[in-house]
């Protein structure tokens, strides 16, 4: 039987508000966990440090793995492509932060070259990713 409303007519509409609420919560969960999943996709042995801070959630992730492959947000890039892509990001958001991750077997000179490419794009907020000792 249908439950009548105040006018005595049957309710025939579907309430989609709970569906929209659940969909938005699932979307927010995926948006919050996507950066963590992307960072774990690359196998990096990060250097250890006694202190560290959490990276900004809107930071662009740049990584240099043990085989010296350079990636930006999980996609392989060259140093020139990295600088161009970051320059485009700075044009949209002048305060764009970047987090640089490098395998601990990578030499300091190679990390400095990546930092130079990032700085030449106009990025001023640069973080180095480490793990706690």
The tens digit of pLDDT for each residue in 85-133 reads 999 999 998 889 999 988 888 888 899 999 999 999 998 888 888 776 6
Question: Is the confidence at residue 38, as pLDDT, over 80?
Answer: no
Distance between terminal CA atoms of the chain? 65
User: For 15-34, what is each residue's pLDDT tens digit?
Assistant: 888 899 999 999 998 888 87
pLDDT (0 to 100) of residue 40: 55
More confident residue, 1 or 72: 72
Residue 108 forms part of a structural domain: yes
pLDDT (0 to 100) of residue 36: 67
- Which CATH number do you get for residue 94? 3.30.420.270
pLDDT (0 to 100) of residue 47: 60
Residue 101 forms part of a structural domain: yes
pLDDT (0 to 100) of residue 32: 83
Residue 12 forms part of a structural domain: no
What is the number of other CB atoms lying within 10 angstroms of the CB of residue 101? 23
User: For 39-84, what is each residue's pLDDT tens digit?
Assistant: 555 566 666 666 656 555 678 989 998 888 999 988 899 988 999 9
Dist CA 18 CA 22 (whole Å)? 6
pLDDT (0 to 100) of residue 15: 85
Dist CA 82 CA 122 (whole Å)? 12
pLDDT (0 to 100) of residue 79: 86
Residue 92 forms part of a structural domain: yes
pLDDT (0 to 100) of residue 56: 53
Four-residue CA torsion sign, 84, 89, 31, 98: positive
pLDDT (0 to 100) of residue 45: 60
Q: Which pairs with CB-CB distance under 8 Å and at least 24 residues apart come from 81-85?
A: 82/114, 82/117, 82/118, 82/121, 83/117, 83/118, 83/120, 83/121, 84/121, 85/121
Instruction: Provide the number of structural domains found in the chain.
Output: 1
The boundaries of the domain holding residue 128 are: 43-132
Give Cβ neighbours of residue 118 (< 8 Å, ≥ 6 apart): 62, 82, 83, 86, 98, 100, 126
């Amino acid at each position: 039987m249908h439950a009548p409303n105040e006018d005595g007519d049957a309710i025939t509409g579907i309430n989609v508000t709970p569906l929209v609420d659940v969909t938005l919560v699932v979307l927010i969960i995926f948006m919050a966990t996507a950066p963590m999943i992307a960072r774990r996709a690359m196998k990096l042995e990060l250097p250890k440090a006694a202190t560290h801070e959490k990276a900004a959630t809107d930071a662009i992730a740049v990584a240099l793995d043990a085989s010296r492959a350079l990636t930006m947000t999980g996609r392989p890039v060259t140093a020139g492509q990295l600088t161009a892509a970051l320059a485009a990001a700075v044009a949209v958001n002048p305060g764009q932060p970047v987090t640089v991750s490098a395998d601990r077997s990578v030499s300091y000179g190679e990390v400095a070259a990546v930092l130079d490419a990032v700085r030449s794009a106009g990025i001023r907020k640069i973080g180095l990713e480490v793990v706690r000792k």
